[in-house]
Amino acid sequence: MSVSLTFLGGAREVTGSCILVQTGRSRFLVDCGMFQGGSESDRKNRRRMPVPPASIDFVLSSHAHIDHSGLLPKLVRDGFRGPVHCTPATADLLKVMLPDSGHIQEKEAEWENRKRERGGRQMVIPLYTEADALAVAARFREVPYEKTFEPAPGVSVTFLDAGHILGSAIVAVTVREEGREKRLVFSGDLGHRGLPIVRDPTPVRGADALVIESTYGNRVHKGMENTVEEFVHAVDHTLRRKGGNVVIPAFAVGRAQDILYLLADLTRQGRLSGITIYIDSPLAAEATRITLRHPECFDDATKEVFAWRDAHPDALKVVVTQSTDDSRALNSLRGGAIIMAGSGMCEAGRVKHHLKHNLWRKECSVVIVGFQAQGTLGRKIVEGAKRVKVFGEEIAVAADVYTIGGLSAHADREDLLAWAGRFESPPGTVMVAHGEEAVSVEFAGTLRSRLRWRAEVPVPGTPVPV
Please say which residue, 67 or 347, places its beta carbon nearer to Zn ion: 67
Q: Provide the minimum distance between the beta carbon of 314 and Zn ion in the complex, in angstroms, as a whole number.
A: 34
Q: Provide the minimum distance between the beta carbon of 199 and Zn ion in the complex, in angstroms, as a whole number.
A: 16
Q: Provide the minimum distance between the beta carbon of 301 and Zn ion in the complex, in angstroms, as a whole number.
A: 22
Q: Provide the minimum distance between the beta carbon of 230 and Zn ion in the complex, in angstroms, as a whole number.
A: 23
Please say which residue, 159 or 278, places its beta carbon nearer to Zn ion: 159
36: three-class secondary structure by DSSP: coil
Q: Provide the minimum distance between the beta carbon of 162 and Zn ion in the complex, in angstroms, as a whole number.
A: 9
The answer to whether 63 and 70 are in contact (CB under 8 A) is no
DSSP 96: H
* Window contacting Zn ion (CB under 5 A); options: 58-66, 126-134, 227-235, 272-280: 58-66
Give φ, ψ of 213 to 5 degrees.
-75, 160
* Window contacting Zn ion (CB under 5 A); options: 64-72, 104-112, 256-264, 340-348: 64-72
Residue 181: beta bridge partners? 176
Q: Does 57 bind Zn ion (CB under 5 A)?
A: no
Please say which residue, 321 or 440, places its beta carbon nearer to Zn ion: 440
Q: Provide the minimum distance between the beta carbon of 265 and Zn ion in the complex, in angstroms, as a whole number.
A: 23
Among residues 71, 72, 58, the alpha carbon closest in space to that of 21 is found at: 58
Burial group, residue 179, by CB count within 10 angstroms (0-12, 13-18, 19+): exposed
Please say which residue, 169 or 318, places its beta carbon nearer to Zn ion: 169
The answer to whether 441 and 227 are in contact (CB under 8 A) is no
Q: Please, which residues have CB within 8 angstroms of residue 132's CB and are 6 or more apart in sequence?
A: 73, 74, 76, 77, 102
Q: Does 106 bind Zn ion (CB under 5 A)?
A: no
What is the C-alpha separation between 123 and 137, in angstroms, rounded? 29
**Which amino acid makes up residue 404?**
I
Please say which residue, 164 or 182, places its beta carbon nearer to Zn ion: 164
What is the C-alpha separation between 63 and 197, in angstroms, rounded? 16
Among residues 17, 56, 85, the alpha carbon closest in space to that of 431 is found at: 17
Hey, which residues between 303 and 362 contact Zn ion (CB under 5 A)? none
* Window contacting Zn ion (CB under 5 A); options: 62-70, 88-96, 148-156, 273-281: 62-70
Size of the site for Zn ion (CB under 5 A): 3
What is the C-alpha separation between 389 and 302, in angstroms, rounded? 39
Residue 275: beta bridge partners? none
Q: Provide the minimum distance between the beta carbon of 63 and Zn ion in the complex, in angstroms, as a whole number.
A: 6
Per-position x/- string for 162-181, each x denoting binding to Zn ion as judged by CB under 5 A, each - no binding: --------------------
Q: Provide the minimum distance between the beta carbon of 54 and Zn ion in the complex, in angstroms, as a whole number.
A: 27
State the greatest distance between any 2 C-alpha atoms of the chain, in Å, as a whole number: 70
Please say which residue, 202 or 358, places its beta carbon nearer to Zn ion: 202
* Residue 54 burial (CB count, 10 A): 10
Q: Does 65 bind Zn ion (CB under 5 A)?
A: yes
Q: How far apart are the first and last CA of the chain?
A: 10
Q: Provide the minimum distance between the beta carbon of 102 and Zn ion in the complex, in angstroms, as a whole number.
A: 19
What is the C-alpha separation between 347 and 38, in angstroms, rounded? 11
- Answer for which of 31, 57, 67, 258 binds Zn ion (CB under 5 A) is 67
Please say which residue, 365 or 440, places its beta carbon nearer to Zn ion: 440
What is the C-alpha separation between 248 and 264, in angstroms, rounded? 16
Per-position x/- string for 179-208, each x denoting binding to Zn ion as judged by CB under 5 A, each - no binding: ----------x-------------------
* Window contacting Zn ion (CB under 5 A); options: 60-68, 259-267, 320-328, 453-461: 60-68
Q: Does 31 bind Zn ion (CB under 5 A)?
A: no
Binding residues for Zn ion (CB under 5 A)? 65, 67, 189
